[in-house]
Structure formats: C-alpha cells, structure tokens
C-alpha cells in the first residue's frame, strides 16, 4: 500500500510526539526522585525507632551465639568429591 507524502509526514510526526512523551515521563520521574535528596535527613531517636520495640530500655541487646558444627573439630570431614 503506497502512502502519500502527507500520510508519511503525519506518521513520522506522531512517532516523534510519542517519543517525546516517553522522554518527558523519564524526566519527570528522575526530577521527582531527586526531590527526595533535597529533603534534610530526619533526626534519629532510638526510643521512637522501629527497632526500639524489640530492645528493652536500659539493657544492652544480647549477643548472638554461633551455631555448633555437626562434626567435632577433631574429625576429618569427607571431601565433597568423595
């Protein structure tokens, strides 16, 4: 199907406008993302943080213990290829 020059220009103009709209959406997205970096960082208050409810006040958190291995230290474990 042959197109007239006017139809070809119209199609090219529509494609250009679609591409421009996509670029504008990207610019708006990144501009919105960058506005978050312009806000000051809020002050940290350990008593009102989300972690505070898991830690008793006035008491340091418990130390985590390491898990014991299945084989005692004196045993020679088999290599993975055996």
pLDDT of residue 70: 66
pTM, to two decimals: 0.41
- Tell me how far CA of residue 47 lies from CA of 41, 51, 53, in angstroms: 17, 9, 8
Q: What is the mean pLDDT of residues 15-37?
A: 93
At 28, the pLDDT band (50, 70, 90 cuts) reads very high
On the question of pLDDT at 22 being above 80, the answer is yes
Task: Say how far apart CA 43 and CA 41 lie, in whole Å.
Answer: 7
pLDDT of residue 38: 83
* Cβ atoms of residues 46 and 52 within 8 Å: yes
Give the residue from 76, 73, 50, 51 showing the smallest Cα distance to 61.
51
pLDDT in tens, 51-68: 777 776 666 666 777 777
Task: Say how far apart CA 15 and CA 11 lie, in whole Å.
Answer: 6
Task: Say how far apart CA 29 and CA 26 lie, in whole Å.
Answer: 5
On the question of pLDDT at 44 being above 90, the answer is no
The radius of gyration of the chain's CA atoms, rounded to the nearest angstrom, is 32
């Amino acid at each position: 199907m042959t197109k007239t020059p006017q139809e070809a220009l119209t199609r090219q103009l529509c494609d250009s406008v679609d591409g421009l709209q996509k670029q504008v959406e990207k610019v708006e997205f990144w501009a919105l993302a960058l506005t978050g970096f312009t806000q000051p960082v809020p002050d940290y208050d350990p008593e009102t943080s989300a972690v505070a409810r898991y830690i008793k006040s006035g008491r340091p958190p418990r130390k985590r213990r390491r898990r014991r291995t299945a084989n005692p230290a004196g045993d020679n474990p088999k290599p993975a290829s055996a």
